[in-house]
Each structure stands twice: as structure tokens, then as C-alpha cells.
Amino acid sequence: MDNTLFENVDKYIGDLLAVEDSALKKTIQSISDNDIPSISVSANQGKFLHIMALLCHANRILELGTLAGYSTIWMARALPVNGKLVTVEFNEQHAKVAQKNIDGAGLTARIELRVGKAADILAKMIADKEEAFDMIFIDADKPPYAEYFGYALSLAKPGTLIICDNVIRDGKILDKNSTDENVKGAQRFNKMLSQNAKVTATIVATVGVKEFDGMAIAVVK
């Protein structure tokens, strides 16, 4: 499918409503400068996450999968001054670049970057009885999404918003015979979501400068 129209419209919306300041521009630049994969959310998706954080009056946000800190910065900018965002990244190079970008955005005090595997860090947070989060953004490796969601529920409270990126994967989730572990992870996650009585959820499909994909949006009952 020709994506040009979707890309152009996405750029049009972005130029109007998701304008990147120098900190966000530098974050995108740091991704190519350091040969990091270009898989951060788009500017419009960053603004979307920002608005979601404002809507749930988030004081505490948890993110799985920091990359270079692009989505992190968009969300943290919706926090009140005493708010906190914890972001989890297991790749040390990504974490190093992200910390620099977070510092460059003036968000050092508001963002805590924890380096390690998401499953380990989540299990520790639960064992330590950390305070519940108001918003949780799941965007790390795709195969264990269903497990990450289970952990997220243990760190949530009624009203917590849980958003999960990349659950449509260019429509490949329709292929029941897919052998792609990322697709299978999304399929397993989406089915679990549909059967999970603890949340009410939908999936918003997205087109634009990134591939055709979707974000699951769940509210804890």
C-alpha cells in the first residue's frame, strides 16, 4: 500500500500540533548518531501519550522500553513538578544515550531510568511494594507483552491507564499461522486483553510516518 498520503497527513498534524523542541529533535538525532534502531513513537504519538498522561492526571508513570528517551520525554512533560516517571531499559547503550537526552531536556529530577530486564525490574518493584502508577506504557520486547501486562496490573490501581504499543504490526496479527515471535506475542497479548476482566480496553489502529500499527488502551476497573 502507498503510505505517502498517510505520511503527509501525519506530518501536517505534527507540524500543527506536535512540534518538537530542540531536546526532542536532539533525541531523534541521537538515535541515528548512535546507530540505534529508529523505532521510537512518532511525534504525533508522543503528543498522544502526553495528552493521555494529562487526562489521567498522572503523578506517577511507568514505561517499559526507553530506547533513546523520546516517548519518555513526551510523557514526563505532562507530569506536575513533583511527579515521577520510571523508565526501564535493558540495553546499556540505549540507557546511556537516553540519560543524556533526559538530562538535555531538563528532566533529570523527574525521570528515573532503571537499567535491567523489564521482567526482573517489575518483579522487584512488586516485591518492594512500590506505590501504584497512574499510567503505564508498555513498549519493550514484544513476545512477553501478556506477562508484562500481568505485572503492570500488580502496579496499578482502579483508573490506571495502561497503553501498549505495536499490537497490530502492519496487520500481520491477522495471520493465524504467523511464525514471527513479535506477531505471536501481540496476538497472544490481544487475546488475553479481550478476556481480562480487570480492565476495559480497546485498540487504536494508527497510520502515519511509522508503519501501520496500533496501541492497546486499557483502563483498570
The residues of the shown chain that bind ligand SAH, judged by CB under 6 A, are 39-41, 65-67, 70-71, 88-91, 94, 117-118, 139-141
Residue 43 touches which of ligand SAH, Mg ion, ligand DHB, none (Cβ within 5-8 Å per kind): none
Residue that the C-alpha cell 506517577 belongs to: 60
Query: Is the CB of 174 or the CB of 205 nearer to ligand SAH?
Result: 205
Ranges within 119-158 binding Mg ion (CB under 5 A): 139
Minimum CB distance to ligand SAH, residue 177 (Å): 25
Query: Is the CB of 1 or the CB of 81 nearer to ligand DHB?
Result: 1
Contacts of 50 (CB under 8 A, 6+ apart): 74, 75, 77, 78
Ranges within 165-194 binding ligand DHB (CB under 6 A): 165-166
Contact between 10 and ligand DHB (CB under 6 A)? no
Contact between 63 and ligand DHB (CB under 6 A)? no
- Select the residue interacting with ligand DHB from 28, 39, 115, 219 (CB under 6 A): 39
Tell me if residue 157 falls in helix, strand or coil.
coil
Tell the burial category of 66 from Cβ atoms under 10 Å away from its Cβ (0-12, 13-18, 19+).
buried
String of b and e for 1-28 (b: at least 16 CB within 10 Å)? eeeeebeeebbeebeeebebeebbebbb
Question: Are 169 and 95 in contact, with CB atoms under 8 Å apart?
Answer: no
Tell me which amino acid residue 24 is.
Answer: L
Rounded to the nearest 5 degrees, what angle is found at the Cα of 92, between the Cα atoms of 136 and 218? 10
Query: Is the CB of 120 or the CB of 131 nearer to ligand SAH?
Result: 120
Ranges within 68-87 binding ligand DHB (CB under 6 A): none
Give the integer Cα–Cα distance in Å for 180 and 121. 26
Give the integer Cα–Cα distance in Å for 20 and 156. 30
Binding mask 93-132 for ligand DHB (x = CB under 6 A): ----------------------------------------
Residue 94 touches which of Mg ion, ligand SAH, ligand DHB, none (Cβ within 5-8 Å per kind): ligand SAH
Query: Is the CB of 140 or the CB of 173 nearer to ligand SAH?
Result: 140
Tell the burial category of 150 from Cβ atoms under 10 Å away from its Cβ (0-12, 13-18, 19+).
middle
Would you tell me which residues interact with ligand DHB (CB under 6 A)? 39, 139, 165-166
Would you tell me which residues interact with Mg ion (CB under 5 A)? 139, 165-166
